[in-house]
Amino acid sequence: MNIVQKIIKNHLVSGEMKPGSEVGIRIDQTLTQDATGTMAYLQFEAMGLKRVKTKLSVSYADHNTLQTGFENPDDHLYLQDVAAKYGILFSRPGNGICHQVHLERFSKPGQTMLGSDSHTPTGGGAGMMAIGAGGIDVAVAMGGGPFYMTMPKVVNVVLKEKLKPWATAKDVILELLRRLTVKGGVGKVYEYGGPGLRTLTVPQRAVITNMGAELGATTSIFPSDGVTKKFFAAQERVKDWRELKADPGAEYDEVIELDLSKIVPLIACPHSPGNVKTVREVEGTPVDQVAIGSCTNSSYVDLMTVAKILKGKRISPRVSLGISPGSRQVELMLAKSGALADLIAAGARILENACGPCIGMGFAPPSNGVSLRTFNRNFLGRSGTKSAGTYLCSVEVAAVSALRGKITDPRRLGKVAPKIAMPARFLIDDSMILKPAKKPATVKIRRGPNMAGLPEREEMPDTLEGRVLIKTGDDVTTDDIMPAGAKILPLRSNVPKISEHVFEQVDAEFPKRAREWGGGFIVGGSNYGQGSSREHAALAPMFLGVRAVIVKSFARIHLANLINFGILPLTFVNASDYDKVKFGDKIVIKGVRQGLRTGDTLAAKNVAGGREFQVKHPLSDRQIDIMLAGGLLNYTKKHAE
């Protein structure tokens, strides 16, 4: 068996391990962050359980750390209290980015992890089956319920040779994005192997698995080997290590060979992680801002590399450079080594140990500016400045470009690249990770005035009717549907308020129209809902009365979130029918409840043209039950009675 099959088999609760079939797996660990965690814990509380049932659950405060008002600090108090009461570890604001901290302190080879963040697959760098999902799926897992998914195809990425100077792990995943596109990984898990494995450290592997999310993959995973053991020993966690590898002769659905020696510095151009070119193709483009960090490239070695490139030099006067260490561990080690002083002396601005600029939470670029970022996403407007062009690259490209004031291939600095060794021992200080209360019954949960109750949806009616509220094109992201940023993220615990911003960057009139028209339908193209796991991109449209979403194809997590909140996900049987449906058309679908039970297609009538077209649903029998109940929370409560 391959690694993916081994882990799923060891955690299988229901279903058959055949690609395309639904399987339910037991979840060992969960991870939440403060932008998605508030809603996840409100949903967990609604289930009426006294304690989480996972082996480990950790709540991180790393997204909403910009405190421009009471909303974010109030939510942090709520999250801290919920963690204390229900048996969850709480990583305080300032302790670091969830994926970096979890990799350092809690990752365990062979275990399953479900996280309410799409970059949860970072844990695959340490041999975990780590999957991003919506908050309510995580809440169910914390309550001991299985996580259901379509059994993925397993793609073996065979790594050969080793990277040349100035080529990086970031360039490896950018190369895969260049080859496969942001749709290439849908329904798949990427399992890495081959002789090139031994040349990549765990943090390098985590860069690759982190951005596997941009391929649309279910997750990505590396074996747990001697390199992994060395990392765990340096984190004083060797007891958590175990060997995990594919059997000789293991079979895969696909095989991709990647010669590491042929990888060159690459860059993702605006406005998609899949718009990849070589750095030399865009070299010379003036740069206004450089941001280094995020859960992708904020490890100790990453930032020590930046410090070594910048030491004794000054950044270009036209560039503003911001650096976000991935964890408190990384920042402390930078400070003790003197590297932090080198960064500051070069002109860098040291930002919080948090997601920050990656989700538009501060450090926005100037109007029409060029921002070079070591992050994982560069969707239009995600930076906080819609007119800016954001590029994704390695820390080496970012640092050298900050010095030159323009996009620069780092190989211009010579054939010898800075080489930073992994430390034999990391600095260990977990004092900002709070343990649950010894007497949970005494914990009183604080709830700020911004926190609203959970919106509810009634059972699925037999007839769905309404007008087309919006018609979108291909590759609509969850950032398009439900933007992030300093203005909107603080509203995550208040669905009525956050619903005012649905499709704000695409069509600012959408919320008003949805209320005036009494809800309706969304029509879209292919890969609808790519990007973040944010369930608010389904929850807020549900609150506004969206009945169904009809598209050419869905991204995995958003599809699951629509089901979880009772919005019927449908695809055109004939793609050409997409062109025949117009904005404002009235759609009627009759016999929905019985139709879901008896087949996978339904007849939709476009009243404006008087014609019918066929739509198809992807629901399993279990998902049909969820849909008819009006969503996963209703379904879970019903089955708990």
Q: How many domains does the chain have?
A: 3
Catalytic residue among 34, 57, 63, 116: 63
Tell me if 454 is assigned to some domain. Answer: no
pLDDT in tens, 158-197: 999 999 999 999 999 999 999 999 999 999 999 999 999 9
Among 413, 446, 479, the domain-final residue is: 413
Establish whether 620 is a catalytic residue.
Answer: no
* Marked catalytic residue, from 532, 536, 577, 617: 532
Residues 273 and 234 in one domain: no
> Which pLDDT score, from 0 to 100, does residue 636 have?
85
Q: Are residues 479 and 569 in the same domain?
A: yes
470 touches 426 (CB < 8 A): no
To the query of whether residue 225 is one of the catalytic residues in this protein, the response is no
Instruction: Round to whole Å and give the CA distance between 248 and 627.
Output: 43
Helix (H, G, I), strand (E, B) or coil at 304: helix
Predicted pLDDT of residue 638: 78
**Average model confidence (pLDDT) across the chain:** 96
> How confident is the model over 419-474, as pLDDT tens digits?
999 999 999 999 999 999 999 999 999 999 999 878 888 999 999 999 999 999 99
Averaged pLDDT, 140-150: 96
pLDDT in tens, 381-427: 999 999 999 999 999 999 999 999 999 999 999 999 999 999 999 99
pTM given for the model: 0.94
**62: annotated active-site residue:** yes
pLDDT band at 151 (very low <50, low <70, confident <90, very high): very high
Peptide bond into 617 cis (omega under 30): no
| 232 and 131 co-located in one domain | yes
In the numeric block, which tokens belong to residue 485? 């940023």
Spot the catalytic one: 117, 342, 409, 475: 117
* 89 in a structural domain: yes
Q: Is residue 512 part of a domain?
A: yes
Query: Active site includes 558?
Result: no
Given this model, what pLDDT does residue 533 score?
Answer: 84
Q: Look at residue 12 and tell me if it is in a domain.
A: yes
Say yes or no: 92 and 190 in one domain. yes
C-alpha distances out from residue 238 to 57, 104, 122, 141, 433, Å:
20, 12, 19, 27, 20
User: Do residues 243 and 151 both lie within one domain?
Assistant: yes
28 is catalytic: no
Assess if residue 451 is contained within a domain. Answer: no
**Alpha-carbon distance 419 to 430, whole Å?**
28
Is the domain of 199 the same as that of 273? no
- CA pair distance 394, 278, nearest whole angstrom: 12
Whether residue 314 sits in one domain with residue 232: no
Angle at 156 between CA 153 and CA 159, to 5 degrees: 160
Tell whether 226 and 338 lie within a shared domain. no
| Tokens 């192997």 belong to residue | 193
Question: Is the pLDDT score of 281 beyond 80?
Answer: yes
- 248 and 366 part of one domain: no
Clarify whether residues 50 and 192 are in a common domain: yes
Q: 506 lies in a domain?
A: yes
CATH number of domain containing 31? 3.30.499.10
Catalytic residue among 119, 271, 377, 404: 377
Last residue of a domain, one of 209, 239, 262: 262
- The answer on 487 and 351 residing in a single domain is no
- Asked whether 566 and 596 are in contact (CB, 8 A), the reply is no
Q: What is the C-alpha separation between 149 and 139, in angstroms, rounded? A: 16
For residue range 566-590, what is the model confidence (pLDDT) as tens digits?
Answer: 999 999 999 999 999 999 999 999 9
Domain boundary among 413, 434, 452: 413
**Of 28, 34, 57, 62, which residue is the catalytic one?**
62
Q: What pLDDT, on a 0 to 100 scale, did the predictor assign at position 532?
A: 86
Residue 421 included in any domain: no
What CATH code is carried by the domain that includes residue 523? Answer: 3.20.19.10
Active site residue 63: yes
383 is a domain residue: yes
Maximal C-alpha separation, the chain = 72
Host domain of residue 243: 3-262
Provide the pLDDT confidence category of residue 640 given band limits of 50, 70 and 90.
Answer: low
Is the distance from CB of 102 to CB of 209 less than 8 angstroms?
Answer: no
Distance CA 148, CA 521 (A): 26
- Whether residue 291 sits in one domain with residue 225: no
CB 457 within 8 A of CB 566: yes
Amino acid symbol at 78: Y
The CA–CA distances, whole Å, from 410 to 74, 211, 223, 415, 499 equal: 44, 22, 30, 9, 44
